[in-house]
Amino acid sequence: GAGVSQSPSNKVTEKGKDVELRCDPISGHTALYWYRQSLGQGLEFLIYFQGNSAPDKSGLPSDRFSAERTGGSVSTLTIQRTQQEDSAVYLCASSSRGQSMNTEAFFGQGTRLTVV
């Protein structure tokens, strides 16, 4: 597609349930990021994938959070045993390699997760 696609756009789940959030990056982009944003506040870094390198997982807030990127393209962020504090907008972004002049990241519209 032309841009970064995220699904679902909205997700309401019950506390304790698992959820999966999907990100389809721009074709050819080697870098993929997940961020979390609460109530229009700042961006909280979660995880970063770059090509075939080991992902940077330093931002994942707990072991309930995990992410994978299959075939260097689509990524899935999984939250197990959701808690109310997990409620936020989850943003995905992708970009080309760092040395490229066209290196800006492009963001999806996000998934709004509400845990009730």
Answer for the pair 13, 82: CB distance below 8 angstroms, yes or no.
yes
Q: Which residues bind another protein (CB under 8 A)?
A: 31, 33, 35, 40-43, 45, 48, 50, 56, 91, 93, 95, 97-99, 101, 103-110
Q: CA–CA separation, 35 vs 87, rounded Å?
A: 13
> Between vectors from CA 44 to CA 111 and to CA 39, what angle results, nearest 5°?
60
Smallest gap from residue 101 Cβ to another protein (A): 6
**Beta carbon nearer to another protein, 14 or 52:** 52
Is residue 25 reached through a cis peptide bond, with omega within 30 degrees of 0 on the bond before it?
A: no
Smallest gap from residue 21 Cβ to another protein (A): 15
**Beta carbon nearer to another protein, 87 or 107:** 107
**Beta carbon nearer to another protein, 63 or 104:** 104
**Beta carbon nearer to another protein, 81 or 97:** 97
Q: Give CA separation, 17 vs 31, 42, 78, 88, in Å.
A: 29, 26, 11, 16
